Amino acid sequence: MASRHKTTVAAAPGAAPAPIKRGSRILGACSSTSGTGGSPGATGGEGEAVKGGTLNMLGSGDVDYMDPNISYYTIGYLGLRMWSRQLFTYPATPGQETTAVPDLATELPTEGSGISADGKTYTIKLREGAQWNTEPARQVTAADAVRGIKRTCNPAQPYGGLPNFQTLIVGFQSYCDGFAKVKPTASAMADYMNKTPLPGVVAKDDLTVEFKLVHPASYFVDMLTLPAFSPAPKEFEKYVPASSEFAQNTLSDGPYQIDSYNPTKSIKFSRNPAWKAESDPVRKAYVDTIDINQTGTQDSVQQQLQTGTPGADMEWDAFPPPSQLPALIAKKDPNLNLGDTASSNPYVVFNTASPSNGAALKDVKVRQALSYAINRANILQVLGGPTLNPPLTHVLPPSIVGGEKNFDLYPYDPDKAKSMLADAGHANLTLKILYRNKSEGSSKTYQTLQQDLSKAGIKVVGVPSPNADFYTKYLQVPSAAKRGVWDLSIAGWGADWYGDAALSFFNPLFSGKPSFPPIGSNFGLYDSPAANKLISEAAVATTKDEAAKLWAEADQQVMEDAPFFPLTNPKQPNYHADQVNNAVYVPQIQNFDPTNVWLSAGKQGG
């Protein structure tokens, strides 16, 4: 969840989270154990849960879009956890955080009970009692589920993970091609959605939705955990998707509703009166209200959480600074959790469309030379060291099918890089690096790149960006890449689901024009016929072994083309104050689940 957002879905220690992907990851190793003295998956006090109070979350950035069907960013997913429900989701249950469970759906489909014999038709029944906070409250329906999926490829602001399923669902590519020609106004888009059927997603009755796939996909239920598949009420048609007007007029089917949203400043949630606890098997919703302050810094947030400052309970997106992690780990602080991510975060993306330096980055030899010039070990050290940041030298983390075999095509060699640049006729490069200046991790990564690349004769200048603008005003805007606003950028990615999830790395990031922003997250506009062919073949593999072989070949091809430089598959550090109980780390949101924590009696905020 870069653009996770992931989002795949993931956030490097100290870095702002990436769009999810997002957004995420799997893991035989996803125990969510802190390794610092906390209990597996859950940290905080013990005893009977206490209801009530205000959970105060502190951070320094914002959601990408306050829109369930469009958000593709880890912090966007974290916010959606409070007010938007999916057909399936990942629970805050220690040891089960990466196993999809029914949310709005009544049960997991299996062959013969929800999945057809040929594996291409999924029939999902919605649970009664799940309601929108309309006046009066109204049942979430199968028609809402169809509408939500239709909204994802709107012409105003499409969902960044469309490459994951645009060609998988029957008729969806054609539907989206037609939608792209529609005037991007609320009325025109609503008219198209209401008059244009989507043959692969049909409401069979009020509580039954049917999905038809072009080919079997064993990962489809996990894919349905994506917020992009969230049902959307008819009222959403009044507004342009992902617009500021939409963000001020949301409807909720989750345990909380949005009382106020002041972009980059604050979000306030209160209980949704239409929500019924018996209709939601995932969210306990112990606290009454959740207040999010988005004006802090990494250092100030960490200090407040550690010192017991009133009004400081949990992080929003200001994770513990890398420089402070060794001390927290050494003292086995029980409020620190180091969670698995199965991500590539951060990584360095090369802008293959940049006109700078005589369009040098279009040349694969130049990109390969840059790869030799980057000292991965130095960057991992400033991010907190290799224990927190295991090196990743190719596309797929080892826990993703196809990423099991390790290889490194570009061991650090600045002299070789310098020689290759001279041979390519680009001995005096000046590169602009886009980074998040309020993130300690992103800033230190930029500074280390600047120092290391200089050893190969490369001059580096910075393009600093606020966290909230990094994706929405730079990386997700292809014209910025084509104008050469940036040459290199420090981004991040995590798989959108778990295990058989290579598709959610390759399709959004490396599958040529279909993955160019804003539809995909191929920020550097990389397009390789050889890689595209391998990705297409792997996507329709019929066995896990065949898929693993083809994804591994695609990984090799992408690395030979050098559109990016991977750095690490990191641990995700999260911290909470003493009064926070049942703090279970959920990889999909890269944080403790706010809908399941409770606050100690007498310390329930306000």
Q: Specify the CATH number for the domain of residue 349.
A: 3.10.105.10
Amino acid at site 56: N
**CATH number for the domain that contains residue 221:** 3.90.76.10
Nearest to 157 by CA among 48, 246, 263, 287: 246
- Give the total residue count for the chain: 606
Domain that holds residue 523: 343-493+510-566
Residue 46 has a pLDDT of 56
User: Does residue 308 belong to any structural domain of this protein?
Assistant: no
Based on the fold, state whether residues 362 and 489 are members of the same structural domain: yes
The closest alpha carbon to 445, from 527, 537, 376, belongs to 376
Residues 356 and 482 in one domain: yes
Instruction: Please answer whether residues 232 and 69 qualify as being in contact, where contact means their C-beta atoms are separated by less than 8 angstroms.
Output: yes
Q: Do 379 and 521 share a domain, yes or no?
A: yes
- Asked if 231 and 367 sit in the same domain, the reply is no
Residues 388 and 535 grouped into a single domain: yes
DSSP one-letter code for 39:
P
* Of residues 450, 432, 442, 431, the one with CA closest to residue 491: 442
Q: Report the alpha-carbon distance of residue 606 to residue 288 in Å, rounded.
A: 10
**Element housing 61 (H / E):** none
pLDDT on residue 606: 65
Q: Is 276 exposed, middle or buried (0-12, 13-18, 19+ CB in 10 A)?
A: middle
Residue 194 belongs to some domain of the structure: yes
Checking phi first, is residue 275 left (phi over 0); if not, alpha (psi -120 to 50) or beta? beta
- 120 burial level (CB within 10 Å; 0-12, 13-18, 19+): middle
Alpha carbons 523 and 486: distance in angstroms, whole number: 11
CA 424, 428, 433, 439 dihedral sign is positive
| DSSP single-letter state for residue 353 | T
C-alpha span between 198 and 577 (Å, rounded): 47
Task: Answer yes or no: do 355 and 212 share one domain.
Answer: no
Q: Cα angle at 480 between 479 and 482, to 5 degrees? A: 60
| DSSP secondary structure code for residue 97 in this structure | T
How far is CA 366 from its chain centroid? 30
Residue 104 confidence (pLDDT): 98
Kindly state whether residue 36 falls inside one of the protein's structural domains: no
Q: Are 431 and 487 in contact (CB under 8 A)?
A: yes
Task: Burial-class residue 121 by CB neighbours within 10 Å (0-12, 13-18, 19+).
Answer: middle
Task: Give residues with Cβ within 8 angstroms of 177, minimum separation 6.
Answer: none
Please identify, among 199, 221, 244, the residue that sits at the C-terminal boundary of a domain: 244
Q: How far apart are CA 36 and CA 397, in angstroms?
A: 24
Report the number of distinct structural domains present in the chain.
2
Specify whether 107 is located in the same domain as 230.
yes
pLDDT of 28: 26
Q: Of 214, 244, 274, which residue constitutes the final position of a domain?
A: 244
172, part of any domain: yes
Evaluate whether residue 379 is within a structural domain. yes
Task: Determine, yes or no, domain membership for 556.
Answer: yes
State which of 244, 278, 304 marks the end of a domain: 244
Give every CB contact of residue 89 below 8 A, 6+ residues apart in sequence. Answer: 100, 101, 103, 225, 282, 588
- For residues 144 and 126, give the distance between their C-alpha atoms in angstroms, rounded to a whole number: 11
In the block, residue with structure tokens 């910075």:
462
CA distances from 226 to 18, 93, 408 (A): 15, 19, 32
Q: Is residue 390 part of a domain?
A: yes
Write out residues in the chain with pLDDT < 70, as ranges.
1-46, 606
The answer to whether 209 and 201 are in contact (CB under 8 A) is: yes
Separation between Cα atoms, residue 115 and residue 136, nearest integer Å: 35
Whether residue 106 sits in one domain with residue 213? yes
Cross-strand bridge partners of residue 572: 339
Q: What is the pLDDT of residue 30?
A: 30
Q: Distance between CA 258 and CA 248 in Å, rounded?
A: 9
Is 366 domain-assigned? yes
Q: Do the Cβ atoms of 98 and 587 come closer than 8 Å?
A: yes
Nearest-angstrom CA–CA distance, 58 and 438:
14
From CA 92, how far away is CA 305, in angstroms rounded?
Answer: 22
